[in-house]
Amino acid sequence: MSTLSIDELRRVERHLRLPGFGMKEQLALHDAHILIIGAGGLGCPALQQLAAAGVGRVTLIDDDVVSLSNIHRQILFGVKDVGRPKVEVAAERARELQPGITITPIHARFTPENACDLLGQADVVIEGSDNFATKYLCADAAEITSTPMVWGTVLRFAGDVCVFHSGPLAPDGRGVGLRDVFPIQPDSTFVDDCATAGVLGVTTSVVAGLMVTATIQHITGLLRPDLPQLIHYEALAPSVHTWNVSADPLRELVTDLGIYEDSTCAIDPTAGAESSWSTRSFSGSMFNPSPARGSRSVSVLLDMVARGEAIPVDIREDFEVELRPWPGCEPVHLPMSSTTEIPSSLKGKTLVVACAKGIRSARFVQKFSDSGADMYSLPGGIDGLVG
């Protein structure tokens, strides 16, 4: 076990004054190696808090660059950082907080090819991505390597946190993993991401704080619960609820990585904050809707609009339309959040319905399938047209 410099002792002095938290616990943080997946809304505040807490070594992986829309919740970034790799900027900020930290920024995607190697070198992994594919890849790699995984998700005004530790090196030789609670990765065709459904920026910091608290508890051994606990946080009418989670005795441990298709991690944007994904069953029909009627390719649908054979309908919200108009098109605007029926002027017509990414539009077509209009959802949405 290493020792702390005088400057580091001064920096973490308030920790050492805590009852039950002494030099042993601080040195455990200093000697720990944490892997953070994602330098976004959860990864940024998590890294900030881990560096401030005195964690000695962090590996941070993310393949994205800073954009202006990140800054309201990804608190390590500023306007001058737009266009730079997120991991590069985040590492600089972490070193400013704790000059002695060893941080390895990896500007790359977290994949089945590097997952087990990265997790096998870490004491704990903080899973802060924004998509189900990465979360399930991390969970499976964590089970294979028996690496404790601090899992978190946030959307709109709510978030969830849990520490999963499963695999042969778990304390009981089995443990509890993500797939014990949520066995199947949700289908990507029926979920939106925070870019579509929105997120209160400060909620990500609160959820990240809960994740880092759980990480510190795990590393130092402070008041760790006997059973893993899923924590659900609500920002509005603020509340925190916890549930004990246990292993599914019929589920076999994961021993090999599988195929992980991209899917965003979120809730129905027309639902309330209580609908975060952790409170739902993945085995139900919510994540397996019936196919949209009359599916056609983007090029065919755009040709129909161009020839006047179909009416374009934009169901995005006002601010979305203002930020990113439908290129070369003057659509009918029917915001999904306020549309209760198809206007009579559109009944009997052929409609091409578009949202940002094609997820809400597919729901819209299903919802109003008996409205008297012949509707098609534009695959990939407006974002797919403008990049």
According to DSSP, the β-strands at 124-127 and 33-37 are parallel
Q: Catalytic one among 44, 116, 138, 194? A: 194
3-state secondary structure of 75: coil
Report the alpha-carbon distance of residue 314 to residue 289 in Å, rounded. 22
Contact 201, 72 (CB under 8 A): yes
> Across-strand partners of 127?
37, 151
Question: Is 355 annotated in the active site?
Answer: yes
**What Cα–Cα distance (Å) separates residue 253 from each residue in 135, 151, 249?**
16, 18, 10
* Closest to 29 in 3D by CA, of 227, 171, 167, 213: 213
Tokens of 204: 């990500």
Question: Is 44 annotated in the active site?
Answer: no
Helix, strand, coil percent values for the chain (each to nearest 5): 35, 20, 45
* Closest to 190 in 3D by CA, of 307, 126, 74, 271: 271
Angle at 227 between CA 219 and CA 152, to 5 degrees: 65
Q: Phi-psi category of 223—alpha, beta or left, where left has phi over 0 and alpha has psi -120 to 50? A: left
3-state secondary structure of 136: helix
Q: b/e map of 292-327 (b: 16 or more CB within 10 Å)?
A: beeebebeebbebbeeeebbbbbbbbeebbeeeebe
Contact 202, 235 (CB under 8 A): yes
3-state secondary structure of 173: coil
Of the chain, the end-to-end C-alpha distance in Å amounts to 50
Angle at 286 between CA 364 and CA 126, to 5 degrees: 110
Contact 189, 358 (CB under 8 A): no
Active site residues: 194, 355
